[in-house]
């Protein structure tokens, strides 16, 4: 019996301006859902000075049973530096990050934009804000479920960009 060779995990970088909410949610979710086929990272152009993700984001992840250990706000410069992990796919999750001039990414990874509203924006009650984070987490999870269930041929370097860009939002 011939076993199919195991390919290395696909490295995915999620970008958002402050790397405190949407990109952190996506990183944690994909690492939990990726079944060893994916390794997720997140970063931002202007990460939070205290390096702490938004507390309501961490709360939403914990409520969903998603591990939060090691999550921190990081600059995207960490991933453009020599010695950084090679990225296969870079996904912007906020419109600001999608419009910014990004660093040069070694290896020319596939790119996609999955825009989500900022759950930390707005002046509602604490319950309203927590609900916004839960809704954003759910929306990201639905799209990631499509990504993690793609067959390997749709994740090949030549197909990845078109595949990632065409995954529907719910």
Q: Mean pLDDT of successive 10-residue segments in the chain (170 residues)?
A: 66 94 98 95 89 94 97 93 92 74 76 92 89 97 96 80 79
pLDDT number for residue 99: 60
Hey, CA dihedral for 77, 79, 80, 83, is it positive or negative? positive
pLDDT number for residue 2: 46
Q: Which two structure tokens, joined as six digits, stand for 64?
A: 């969903």
pLDDT number for residue 130: 95
* Those residues with Cβ within 8 angstroms of residue 90's Cβ, 6 or more apart along the chain or in another chain: 12, 13, 15, 102, 105, 109, 110, 111, 112
Q: Quote the CA–CA distance of 74 and 93 in Å, as a whole number.
A: 15
Kindly write down the DSSP assignment for every residue of 114-167, as one continuous string: -----TT-S---HHHHHHHHHHHHHHHHHHHHHHHTS-GGGGSHHHHHHHHHTP
- The helix or strand, by DSSP H or E, that contains position 27, with its residue range, turns out to be helix 22-33
Q: Which two structure tokens, joined as six digits, stand for 57?
A: 């984001």
pLDDT number for residue 25: 98
The number of C-alpha atoms within 13 Å of 164 and in the hemisphere containing its C-beta is: 24
pLDDT number for residue 158: 63
For residue 80, give the nearest of 101, 55, 54 by alpha carbon.
101
* Residues 140/170, Cβ–Cβ less than 8 Å: no
Query: What's the burial of 101, exposed, middle or buried (CB within 10 Å: 0-12/13-18/19+)?
Result: exposed
pLDDT number for residue 1: 44
* Those residues with Cβ within 8 angstroms of residue 126's Cβ, 6 or more apart along the chain or in another chain: none
The domains found in the chain, sorted by start residue, are 10-162 (3.40.50.2300)
């Amino acid at each position: 019996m011939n076993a199919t060779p195991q390919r290395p995990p696909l490295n995915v970088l999620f970008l958002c301006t402050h790397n405190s909410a949407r990109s952190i949610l996506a990183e944690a979710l994909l690492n939990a859902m990726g079944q060893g086929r994916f390794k997720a990272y997140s970063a931002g152009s202007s990460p939070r000075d205290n390096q702490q993700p938004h507390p309501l984001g961490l709360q939403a992840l914990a409520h969903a049973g998603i591990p939060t250990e090691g999550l921190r706000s990081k600059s995207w410069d960490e991933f453009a530096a020599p010695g950084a992990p090679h990225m296969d796919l870079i996904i912007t999750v906020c419109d600001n990050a999608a419009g910014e001039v990004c660093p040069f990414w070694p290896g020319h990874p596939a790119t996609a934009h999955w825009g989500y509203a900022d759950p930390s924006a707005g002046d509602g009650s604490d319950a309203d804000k927590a609900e916004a984070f839960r809704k954003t987490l759910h929306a990201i999870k639905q799209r990631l479920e499509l990504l993690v269930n793609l067959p390997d041929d749709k994740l090949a370097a030549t197909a990845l960009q078109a595949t990632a860009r065409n995954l529907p939002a719910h």
